[in-house]
Amino acid sequence: MYRRSLIPALGIMIALIAPASAMAAPKMVEAPSWSSGGSGSSGPPAVGNQTYCDGGSWESTVSGQPLYGNAEIYLDTAGGTPLNPESPSTYTPVPANIGHELVCNVTVTDPSDDTSVTQTITSEPVLPDPAVVLTAYSGAVSGNIGESVAGVDVTLALASLGTPSAPLASASAITNAQGGWSAILSPESGISIPAVANAGDLTVSYTAPAGQTTAVPDSTTYAPNFYPTATIAADGTSITTGDASSDGCAAWGFLVNGTAASTVPATQSYSSCLFTLASPLTDEDDVQSQYTSSYTDQTNDSLSQLTTVSDLGLLGGVDAGRASAAAVLQR
């Protein structure tokens, strides 16, 4: 009698305990995270820059096998239809999203026992995608904050490489109704122009108008190491660029007497682009090359569009396209 009653009791005890371990939720190994832009920046999402929600990595508590989360991005709150149904884990913010948060729902299911868990992460507010234009051998700087908001304060500080706390030149501006601004750098008091010959860091900061909750871009420190070089053909009918391997020919443009030049589609050969001009140039024309690419701040991962501009030489000549801070401040 005693032995017969013990075996069923043991069987019942096992039946009660086994489901408790088998139904445990998947275990998180690496938390879900955000990244933005082609370089995988960890900074806030910005207009025009693709944002990606990484579902993280997980582990089955039953089998120990690796599991991966299914990520879906929404606006402000999770639920409804993902912002990008065809690729739910990615989304490129548009101007209407400025100031809003992106929400990512990560769902992980363990096929060993069909248990699932959901993890939700929220991004920082979407920021505008600002643009800054720097011209070699010129103290003139201009840009746009990426949204049509007037009254945003823009401050600029030029410093020696690696020492942003000791500005050598500065400027300030206020945005117009389209978000545009322009300024001219001037040396700080007591600093002589020759003393700043090796300066190279330009920090641009933005402050929203008093009493407004406008989402303004993060401050960005620019240390451009490339100004666009190009050669005008001797007959003035075409322009051949320097290095074009990173962003291709689409990143290049030209100004003739301050107006965008009309060119036929460029032909790329290795690392150079050949642009044929609609109207031939002469030595009387003021010609500039410009190169636009996405720029990532090395400190805070903020994203922006940086355009560098260089004056080109006479027909058949080439401009070196590199400027020292001393030359920038002299002009």
Confidence of residue 194 (pLDDT cuts 50, 70, 90): very low
* Rounded Cα–Cα distance for residues 35 and 49 (Å): 10
SS3 state of residue 239:
strand
Report yes or no on 111 lying in a domain: yes
Q: Look at residue 272 in the predicted model and tell me its pLDDT.
A: 86
Q: Is residue 8 part of a domain?
A: no
Average pLDDT of the residues in 270-299: 89
Answer yes or no: do 103 and 36 share one domain: yes
Residue 159's pLDDT is 84
Rounded-to-integer distance, Cα 163 and Cα 38, Å: 28
* Residue 141 and residue 213 share a domain: yes
Report the SS3 class of residue 9: helix
Whole-number percent of the chain with pLDDT over 90? 49
**What mean pLDDT do residues 149-170 have?**
82
| Residue 306 scores a pLDDT above 90 | yes
**pLDDT tens track for 2-35:** 444 433 433 333 333 334 444 688 999 999 999 9
pLDDT score at 205:
95
Q: Give the pLDDT confidence score for residue 164 in this predicted structure.
A: 57
Out of 164-178, 235-249, 316-330, least confident range = 316-330
Please, which pLDDT band fits residue 109 given cuts at 50, 70 and 90? very high
Average pLDDT over residues 49-76: 93
DSSP 155-220: EEEEEETT-TTSEEEEEEEE--TTSEEEEE-EEPTT--GGGGTTEEEEEEEEEPPTT-----PPPE
Same domain for 183 and 165, yes or no, is yes
Token duo for residue 229 = 């070089």
Q: Which of 115-119, 120-124, 309-313 has the lowest mean pLDDT?
A: 309-313
Instruction: Decide which of 222, 242, 257 is a domain's last residue.
Output: 222
Of the residues 102, 122, 142, which one is the last residue of a structural domain? 122
State the average pLDDT over residues 239-264.
85
Question: Does the residue 327 lie in any domain?
Answer: no
Residues 267 and 209 in one domain: no
Domain boundary among 105, 122, 139: 122
At 177, which CATH number?
2.60.40
Instruction: Give the pLDDT confidence score for residue 253 in this predicted structure.
Output: 92
- Determine, yes or no, domain membership for 5: no
Banded model confidence at residue 165, pLDDT cuts 50, 70, 90: low
- In this prediction, residue 16 carries a pLDDT of 32
Q: Could you write out the DSSP letters of every residue in 17-39?
A: HHHHHHTPPPEEEE--EEEETTT
Beta strands 102-110; 90-91: pairing state: unpaired
Residues 27 and 111 in one domain: yes
Residue 81 has pLDDT above 50, yes or no: yes
Q: With respect to residue 328, please indicate whether it lies within any of the assigned structural domains.
A: no
Predicted confidence at residue 7, as pLDDT, reads 38
- The CA distance from 75 to 170, in Å, is 38
Whether 17 is covered by a domain: the verdict is: no
* pLDDT over 60 at 54, yes or no: yes
Stretch among 36-45, 98-107, 152-161, 310-319 having the lowest mean pLDDT: 36-45
- pLDDT value for 318: 53
The answer to whether residue 155 sits within a structural domain is yes
Going by pLDDT thresholds of 50, 70 and 90, the confidence category of residue 325 is: very low
Distance (Å, whole) CA 45 – CA 47: 7
Sheet holding 230-232, edge to edge: 230-232, 238-241, 272-276, 267-269
Tell me, yes or no, whether 214 and 256 share the same domain: no
Q: Which residues lie across from 222 on neighbouring strands?
A: 202
Q: 46 in helix, strand or coil?
A: strand
Mean pLDDT for all residues in the chain = 82
Give me the amino acid identity at 251. Answer: A
Domain interval for residue 194: 131-222
Residue 258 lies in a domain: yes
Number of domains in the chain: 3
Same domain, 102 and 26: yes
Close Cβ partners of 289 (under 8 Å, ≥ 6 residues apart):
228, 229, 230, 239, 241, 252, 253, 254, 309, 310, 312, 319, 321
Average pLDDT of span 230-259: 87
Checking if the pLDDT of 130 tops 50, the result is yes
In angstroms, what CA-CA distances link 5 with 17, 292, 316? 19, 83, 103
Give the residue-averaged pLDDT of 89-106: 94
**131, pLDDT greater than 90:** yes
Provide the whole-model pTM: 0.76
Q: Strand (E) positions, 4-161?
A: 27-30, 33-36, 51-54, 57-59, 66-68, 70-75, 90-91, 102-110, 115-122, 131-135, 140-144, 153-160
Quote the pLDDT of residue 1: 43
Residue 318 gets which letter from DSSP?
B
Domain co-membership, 178 together with 216 = yes
